[in-house]
Amino acid sequence: MISVEDYGKYETAWCPGCGNFGILNSLKKALVACGLAPHQVLLVSGIGQAAKTPHYLKANVFNGLHGRSLPVAIGAKLANPELTVIAESGDGCMYGEGGNHFLAALRRNVDLTILAHDNRVYGLTKGQASPTSEKGFVTKAQPHGAFAATFNPVAVAVTMGASFVARGYAGLPEHLAGLIAQAINHRGTALVDILQPCVSFNKVNTYTWYKEHCYTLAEDYDPRNHAQAIATALEFGERIPLGVIYKKEEALFEDQFPVLQNGPLAGQEVSREGLRQIMQGYL
């Protein structure tokens, strides 16, 4: 039996009260709920405080470059489809520097879980606006308030017809663990955008603020209704819905490669006979 203890306990570099702690605990619970042992899991991250999460639990880890967790995760999954691959990073990494990779990943639908710690600010570089910062959010770098429109990753993902889109909240760890477990078990690319208070640099979106605005979707909410999902995804202001906002069955990207039916590419022998026949074609 796998237990939360199997995933270890480490000292972190996070501020006391950081939302990352709740997310880390929820992730461990979700992995246990999915019956996964640490060696079956690959956590891929980019750069930022959220991207350090993989260092604080036991698993296979690839901590790469800012914004680049998704292509690394996709490459690893395509090399070994038996790995449970989770890409985990912050809003700046996933939606800013990695924006193009984010869009492309949703279109591919590789069996992959994306956990975006969305604190709506750049934490590691000490408080600049992020793509998800509220318009008008004042920082040292945006002294007159952020001019750019707020990026809504959930709405973008639902609009694109991504196969699993959820929003969680670090302050509701049990609920979040459930969402992460569903995302891991979903066959396809699953996005969980996780609202996360940043106690040091985001004085707007605080624990109190989230408590006042967030609500969990009703039991009878049907995440398969795309039109309703779009409306729900766009609801972000006075009320912010939490839960699985949209999901659907969709063919897996990796299934187009017959060779991946045979498991990891490592260890699959190179066909000398195949090569010989290919060469004959150039005669």
Partner 1 sequence: MPPDIHLLIGGEAGQGLVTIGQLLSKALVRAGYEVFVSQSYHSRIRGGHNTFSIRLGAGPFFAPRESIDILVALNAETVDIHRGQLNGQALLIADASFAPNLPGTISVPFVELGPEHLWNTAALGLLGKILELPFDALYQAVEAALGKKHPETLVENKGVLEKSWEWAAAHVSGHGFILTGGALAADRLLLNGNQAIALGALAGGLKFCAFYPMTPATSIVLELIVHAETMGCVFEQAEDEIGAINMAIGASFAGAPSMVATSGGGFALMAEGVSLAAMTETPVLIAVAQRPGPATGMPTRTEQGDLEFVLHAGHGEFPRAIFAPGSIESCFHLTQKALAVAERSQSPVFLLTDQFLADSARPVVLFDTAASSPVVAGIEPGDMPIPYQRYRLTENGLSPRLLPGLSTHLVVADSDEHDEDGHISEDHGVRIAMMEKRLRKIELLKQEVVAPTLAGEKGTDILFVNWGSSQGPVLEAAASLRGQGKSVASLHFSQVWPLVPPQFLDILQAAGEVVCVEGNATGQFARLIQREAGFVMNRRIARYDGLPFTARYILDSLETTVSLEAGI
Stretch that binds partner 1, among 78-86, 135-143, 188-196, 231-239 (CB under 8 A): 78-86
**Interface residue with partner 1, options 20, 53, 63, 113 (CB under 8 A):** 63
Work out whether 28 is an interface residue with partner 1 (CB under 8 A): no
Nearest distance, CB of residue 45 and partner 1, angstroms:
10
76 binds partner 1 (CB under 8 A): yes
Min dist. Cβ of residue 124 to partner 1 (A): 12
How far apart CA 59 and CA 256 sit, in angstroms, is 28
What are the Cα distances from residue 83, in Å, to 42, 94, 178, 189? 6, 21, 20, 14
Binding-site size for partner 1 (CB under 8 A) equals: 57
How far apart are CB 63 and partner 1 at their closest, in Å?
A: 4
- Per CB under 8 A, 186 contacts partner 1: no
Site for partner 1 in 36-55 (CB under 8 A): 37-40, 42, 44, 47, 52, 55
For position 125 contacting partner 1 by CB under 8 A, the verdict is: no
Residue 66 vs 203, nearer CB to partner 1: 66
By CB under 8 A, the residues from 81 to 110 that bind partner 1 are 82-83, 100-101, 103-104
In sequence order, the β-bridge partners of residue 41 are 84
The residue type at 195: L
**Nearer residue to partner 1 within complex by CB, 77 or 167:** 77
Around 227, how many Cα atoms within 13 Å sit in the side-chain half-sphere? Answer: 0
Contacts of 47 by beta carbon, 8 Å cutoff, 6+ apart: 64, 65, 66, 67, 89, 93, 124
35 binds partner 1 (CB under 8 A): no
Q: Does 74 bind partner 1 (CB under 8 A)?
A: yes
| Contact between 51 and 93 (Cβ < 8 Å) | yes
Q: Which of 265, 263, 260, 249 is nearest to 109 (CA)?
A: 249
- Which CA distances in Å does 112 have to 163, 225, 248? 11, 22, 15
Q: Which is nearer to partner 1, 133 or 189 (CB)?
A: 189
Extended strands (E) in the chain: 41-45, 60-63, 84-90, 112-118, 164-169, 189-195, 214-216, 240-247
Task: Report, in Å, the least distance between residue 92 CB and partner 1.
Answer: 16
Q: Residues 220 to 279: which contact partner 1 by CB under 8 A?
A: 257-260, 262, 264-272, 274-279
Query: Do residues 185 and 34 touch, judged by C-beta distance below 8 A?
Result: yes
Phi, psi of 33 (to 5 degrees): -60, -30
- Give me the amino acid identity at 178: G
Site for partner 1 in 128-147 (CB under 8 A): none
φ and ψ at 68, to 5 degrees? -110, 20
Instruction: Establish if 58 lies at the interface with partner 1 (CB under 8 A).
Output: yes
CB 101 within 8 A of CB 67: yes
Shortest Cβ 10–partner 1 spacing (Å): 9
Does residue 68 touch partner 1 according to CB under 8 A? Answer: yes
Applying CB under 8 A, the residues found at the interface with partner 1 are 37-40, 42, 44, 47, 52, 55, 58-65, 68, 70-80, 82-83, 100-101, 103-104, 257-260, 262, 264-272, 274-279, 282-283
